[in-house]
């Protein structure tokens, strides 16, 4: 488990190839100093993927519309998206509804067929099929025997594309920190066991926490020299590192 401090464009390519890349880049929607589109990282990330690997990127619809040409130029193809619904959100001057969601979009190399991309289908018990009871009705004349019942359980179904997770307001160490539970779901679905995850905009290291809990290897990169040590401390305090690993 490694967390680097510096520019992901310079440091991360040398630590690939990755089974899965997670990216939470600045959305470029505010006047904050750090909220600026980062150019040039997408083609480097695409080249750092293993043949079966994919890339999950956080963003808003505005940010994806603004950067759509960059994904195409990097040779990345859209696969699917998740709407992350959170319990509260933000509002911009042009909005008329409070925005309580963000998008998490999966891309994969256009040179690879989607069926060859690693994908452990996500299922959920909270959408189980209704229990069906079927009764073989007895005759209503003559001898009436006992009725026969059969119970059929629909079983777990595919996870929904709208996922509800509480955000980390009040306990986050980074202004755009994402929930570990959400990241854990993505990692288990899109990264094979013992696979390597590249977190190109590590922030607080939340993806590293999820990777550790899911049993995957992790390489993260954070450009903020003050945040990176805090992320390292967070990862180091989660579980003891086996010999040979370092935060």
What CATH number is attached to the domain comprising 178?
A: 3.40.50.150
Q: Residue 84: CB partners within 8 Å, gap ≥ 6?
A: 101, 102, 103, 104, 163, 165, 182
36 and 141: one domain?
A: no
79 and 139: one domain?
A: no
Convert 134-181 into a string of H (helix), E (strand) and C (coil). Answer: EEECCCCCCCCCCCEEEEECCCCEECCCEEECCCCCCCCCCCCCCCHH
Is the pTM above the cut of 0.85?
no
Q: Range of 149's domain?
A: 129-157
Asked whether residue 243 is assigned to any structural domain, the reply reads no
16 and 31: one domain?
A: yes
Could you report the per-residue pLDDT of 193-242, keeping only the tens digit for each? Answer: 999 999 999 988 999 999 999 999 999 999 999 989 999 988 988 765 55
Residue with tokens 């570990």: 180
Asked whether residue 245 is assigned to any structural domain, the reply reads no
Report which of 224, 219, 232, 226 is spatially closest to residue 11, judged by C-alpha positions: 219
189 and 170: one domain?
A: yes
134 and 82: one domain?
A: no
Could you report the per-residue pLDDT of 115-131, keeping only the tens digit for each? Answer: 999 998 887 766 555 55
Distance between CA atoms of 48 and 121, rounded to whole angstroms?
Answer: 24
Q: ∠94-82-131 over CA atoms, to 5°?
A: 125
pLDDT higher than threshold 80 for residue 169? no
Please tell me the predicted confidence (pLDDT) of residue 88.
74
Listed residues 109, 139, 157: the one ending a domain: 157
192 and 108: one domain?
A: yes
Asked whether residue 247 is assigned to any structural domain, the reply reads no
Could you report the per-residue pLDDT of 71-118, keeping only the tens digit for each? Answer: 999 999 999 999 999 877 666 666 677 888 999 999 999 999 999 999
Q: Residue 93: CB partners within 8 Å, gap ≥ 6?
A: none
Asked whether residue 246 is assigned to any structural domain, the reply reads no
183 and 232: one domain?
A: yes
Q: Which residue has better confidence, 163 or 34?
A: 163
- Residue 65's SS3 state is helix
166 and 220: one domain?
A: yes
- Which residues are registered as beta bridge partners of 152? 132
User: Is the CA virtual torsion 58, 183, 121, 191 positive or negative?
Assistant: positive
Asked whether residue 244 is assigned to any structural domain, the reply reads no
Please tell me the predicted confidence (pLDDT) of residue 94.
64
With a pLDDT cut of 70, the percent of the chain lying above it is: 80
Please tell me the predicted confidence (pLDDT) of residue 77.
96
Number of domains making up the chain? 2
Strands 99-109 and 76-90: antiparallel
């Amino acid at each position: 488990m490694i967390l680097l401090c510096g520019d992901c464009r310079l440091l991360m390519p040398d630590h690939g190839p990755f089974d899965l890349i997670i990216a939470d880049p600045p959305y470029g929607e505010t006047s904050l100093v750090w909220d600026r589109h980062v150019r040039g990282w997408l083609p480097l990330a695409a080249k750092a993927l293993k043949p079966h690997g994919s890339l999950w990127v956080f963003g808003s619809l505005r940010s994806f519309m603004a950067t759509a040409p960059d994904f195409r130029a990097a040779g990345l193809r859209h696969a699917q998206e998740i709407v992350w619904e959170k319990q509260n959100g933000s509002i911009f001057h042009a909005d008329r509804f409070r925005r309580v969601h963000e998008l998490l979009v999966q891309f994969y190399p256009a040179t690879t067929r989607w069926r060859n991309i690693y994908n452990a289908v996500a299922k959920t018990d909270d959408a189980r099929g209704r229990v069906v009871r079927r009764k073989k009705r007895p005759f209503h004349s003559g001898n009436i025997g006992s009725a026969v019942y059969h119970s059929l359980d629909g079983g777990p179904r595919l996870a929904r594309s709208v996922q509800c997770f509480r955000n980390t307001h009040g306990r986050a160490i980074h202004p755009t920190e994402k929930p570990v539970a959400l990241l854990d779901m993505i990692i288990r679905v899109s990264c094979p066991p013992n696979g390597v995850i590249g977190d190109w905009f590590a922030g607080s290291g939340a993806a590293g926490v999820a990777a550790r809990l899911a049993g995957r290897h992790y390489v993260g990169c954070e450009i903020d020299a003050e945040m990176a040590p805090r992320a390292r401390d967070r990862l180091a305090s989660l579980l003891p590192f086996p010999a040979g690993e370092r935060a």
